[in-house]
Amino acid sequence: MCADLVTTLLLASDTRNTVLAAIDPAGVNASAYTPYGAQSAKGVVQNSLGFNGQLRERPTGWYHLGNGHRVYNPVLMRFHTPDKLSPFGKGGLNSYAYCVGDPVNLVDPTGQLPEWLQPVPTIALNVLTFAATAAAAVVAPPVGIGLHAVRLSLIGSPVAVVGATLQLAGVEEGKYLSATGTGISALGVATRGGMSVHSLATDPDWRRKLFRNVRRLVGIPPRSERATVPASGPVRPSIVDRANDVNIPGYLAAVARYQGKAQPDLASLGKPSPIEHMRKSVMDQKWIRTSRVPPNIRR
Residue 255 within any structural domain of the chain: yes
Judge contact between 95 and 88, C-beta under 8 A: no
Residue 219 within any structural domain of the chain: no
Last residue within a domain, chosen from 94, 116, 138:
116
Residues 102 and 171 in one domain: no
Cα separation, 61 vs 36, whole angstroms: 12
Buried b (16+ CB within 10 A) or exposed e, 45-79: bebebbbbbbebeeeebbbebbeeebbbbbeebbb
Residue 145 within any structural domain of the chain: yes
Residues 161 and 190 in one domain: yes
Judge contact between 175 and 167, C-beta under 8 A: yes
Cα separation, 55 vs 51, whole angstroms: 8
For residue 73, the model assigns a pLDDT of 92
Residues 122 and 112 in one domain: no
Residue 142 within any structural domain of the chain: yes
Domain count, the chain: 3
Per-residue model confidence as pLDDT tens digits over 86-118: 666 566 677 888 887 888 888 888 776 655 566
Give the ranges where the chain is alpha helix by DSSP (H).
Answer: 2-5, 65-68, 119-139, 145-168, 174-201, 206-217, 239-242, 248-258, 274-284
Cα separation, 52 vs 47, whole angstroms: 14
Last residue within a domain, chosen from 82, 116, 150:
116
Residues 109 and 136 in one domain: no
Residues 109 and 125 in one domain: no
Q: How many other C-beta atoms are found inside a 10 Å radius of the C-beta of residue 186? A: 15
The amino acid at residue 91 is: G
Residues 101 and 10 in one domain: yes
For residue 288, the model assigns a pLDDT of 47
Residues 252 and 282 in one domain: yes
For residue 280, the model assigns a pLDDT of 62
Residue 234 within any structural domain of the chain: no
Last residue within a domain, chosen from 82, 99, 116:
116
Residue 233 within any structural domain of the chain: no
Residues of the chain with pLDDT under 50: 1, 239-240, 242-243, 245-246, 269-272, 286-291, 293, 298-299
Residues 6+ apart with CB under 8 A from 187: 152, 156
Residue 220 within any structural domain of the chain: no
The DSSP bridge partners found for residue 65 are 70
Residues 13 and 56 in one domain: yes
Residues 105 and 146 in one domain: no
pTM greater than the 0.85 cutoff: no
> What strand order describes the sheet that includes 78-79?
63-64, 70-73, 78-79
For residue 222, the model assigns a pLDDT of 64
Residue 182 within any structural domain of the chain: yes
Residues 158 and 105 in one domain: no
Cα separation, 74 vs 60, whole angstroms: 10
For residue 74, the model assigns a pLDDT of 92
Q: Which domain holds residue 132?
A: 118-213
